[in-house]
Amino acid sequence: MQEYPRYLYRAPFLVPGNGPVIVDGAVLTENGLVVAVGSYAELKDVDAQVEDYEHHVITPSLVNCHAHLELSYLADLSGDCPSPGDMAGWIRKLLSARAAHDDVAAQNDASLMALARLYAGGCRAVVDIGNREESALIGGGFKTEVLFFLELLGLCGESEEAALSALAGIDADVRCTAHAPYSTGPALIRALKKRAGAALFPMHVAESAQEIEFLRTGSGPFAAFLGERGVSVASFVPPGMGVVRYLDSLGVVDNHTLCVHAVHLEDEEIALLAARGAAVCLCPGSNRFMGVGTAPVQKMFAHDIPLVLGTDSLASNPHMSLWREMQVLREDHPNISPEAVFAMASVNGARLLGIEGRIGTIAPGVSSSLLAVRCPAKKEAELFEFLTSVGTDISLEWLE
Ligand SMILES: [Zn+2]
């Protein structure tokens, strides 16, 4: 007697994620795993319960490579766009909203709601960055896997030293990372990268022109903002170069480094990222909200830099949807193929996180947590166009 049912899911199209689209495709699952994938004609005689998904496409689940679930309670901030590119002004607003809110239970509820929203949107894994160690618990019991990183800041002098000594006291099993080059000093960045070893090291990089100005000259809106916060900006020696060149001079750019945003890069820095094997997490929705510009995606793509997608937080992006990220990316960069954009939201992220054996493709042995996406495409050529432009109009269900 068969203890667990075997299911054969059938749809007009199936996107395996690691090969060509299968027309009239089918996937056989058992005990939470994919057993076989192919055309319906090849698999129709297997002993399984057939679930027919007419007008759908079966796809791998999605991977969100940058979020701050902890900031979800500040979603009101994304109702009001900052003046274009004014990153320092937005952070000032964020910090004052954070200081005015002390209801930790409500904050946790908002984080859980955001995670539930990600799951409802087909996201199976998320890289989550937070400033509170207890935020690591947010993902407990959720089907969307949360890879939590505790983010440290401290630019110079006492603040950097305090962060370095705090770091020494953090349990070895807590993943730690640096916030950004304008908030995290060189000794702290180096220490965090060394601690991360061969594990993923995400960091906000070159998000705004204001950041570049600060690192080049030590002045501008970030200098003013940090000064207000009591940071002794005068003791920070600006590296006088672009962000990637600066980080490379610290020895922290390698194939485990994930540069988040990467909007303001020089051409040589794009080549440098490629030479070091570093990956980039694009956050087009957040970038649009902040008005910081668009990342040089075409150039990064031409350099074969691994590209993944992130939603960033609800505080800087009213949508917590990778479908929306794909849509914005397509609008901003119509020359990037829709197939490549879909890969950024799925298999590329899984590969980056080292979980492509479970998530991101449809192949024997991977998790049977797949998506059936309602799709009007009649021809294969329309398929990825639809998937990457549907945005928040997406309608999907999980195949478990
Ligand atoms: Zn971020």
Task: Domain ranges for the chain, please list them.
Answer: 7-61+360-399, 62-352
Using the mean position of ligand 1's atoms as its centre, give its distance from the Cα of residue 213 in Å. 19
Using the mean position of ligand 1's atoms as its centre, give its distance from the Cα of residue 210 in Å. 16
The whole-chain average pLDDT of the chain stands at: 95
Coil, strand, or helix at residue 51?
strand
Using the mean position of ligand 1's atoms as its centre, give its distance from the Cα of residue 315 in Å. 10
Q: How far is CA 32 from CA 42, 63, 394, in A?
A: 21, 19, 25
Backbone angles phi, psi at 6, to 5 degrees: -100, 135
**Residue 184 pLDDT > 60, yes or no?**
yes
192 contacts: CB under 8 Å, gap ≥ 6? 152, 167, 176, 177, 178, 184, 201
Using the mean position of ligand 1's atoms as its centre, give its distance from the Cα of residue 290 in Å. 12
Using the mean position of ligand 1's atoms as its centre, give its distance from the Cα of residue 217 in Å. 24
Rounded distance, CA 17 to CA 134, Å?
Answer: 35
Which tokens in the block code for residue 239? 């590296």
Helix, strand, coil percent content, the chain, rounded in steps of 5: 40, 20, 40
Q: Could you tell me which residue, 3 or 242, shows the higher pLDDT?
A: 242
Using the mean position of ligand 1's atoms as its centre, give its distance from the Cα of residue 378 in Å. 38
**Residue 300 pLDDT > 90, yes or no?**
yes
Please tell me the predicted confidence (pLDDT) of residue 4: 65
Q: Which residue has the tokens 């009213």?
A: 318
pLDDT band per the 50, 70, 90 thresholds, residue 3: low
Task: Write the pLDDT tens digit of every residue in 95-144.
Answer: 888 888 889 899 999 999 999 999 999 999 999 999 999 899 888 889 99
Task: Provide the CB-side half-sphere exposure for 101 (13 A, CA).
Answer: 19
Alpha helices in 37-168 (DSSP H): 40-43, 87-99, 104-120, 157-168
Please tell me the predicted confidence (pLDDT) of residue 109: 93
Nearest partner of 129 among 74, 181, 176, 168, judged by Cα: 176
Using the mean position of ligand 1's atoms as its centre, give its distance from the Cα of residue 68 in Å. 6
Using the mean position of ligand 1's atoms as its centre, give its distance from the Cα of residue 313 in Å. 7
Please tell me the predicted confidence (pLDDT) of residue 160: 94
Using the mean position of ligand 1's atoms as its centre, give its distance from the Cα of residue 95 in Å. 14
Using the mean position of ligand 1's atoms as its centre, give its distance from the Cα of residue 16 in Å. 30
* Residue % of the chain over a pLDDT of 70: 99
Which tokens in the block code for residue 346? 């799925």
| Residues β-bridged to residue 23 | 13
Task: Write the pLDDT tens digit of every residue in 38-95.
Answer: 999 999 999 999 999 999 999 999 999 999 999 998 888 877 778 889 989 999 988 8
284 contacts: CB under 8 Å, gap ≥ 6? 294, 295, 309, 325, 328, 329, 332
Q: Quickly name the fold that domain 7-61+360-399 has.
A: Urease, subunit C; domain 1 (2.30.40)
Q: Which CATH superfamily is domain 62-352 in?
A: Metal-dependent hydrolases (3.20.20.140)
Coil, strand, or helix at residue 246?
helix
Local structure of residue 21 (DSSP, 8 states): P
Using the mean position of ligand 1's atoms as its centre, give its distance from the Cα of residue 71 in Å. 10
Using the mean position of ligand 1's atoms as its centre, give its distance from the Cα of residue 310 in Å. 9
Q: Could you tell me which residue, 246 or 142, shows the higher pLDDT?
A: 246
Length of the chain: 400
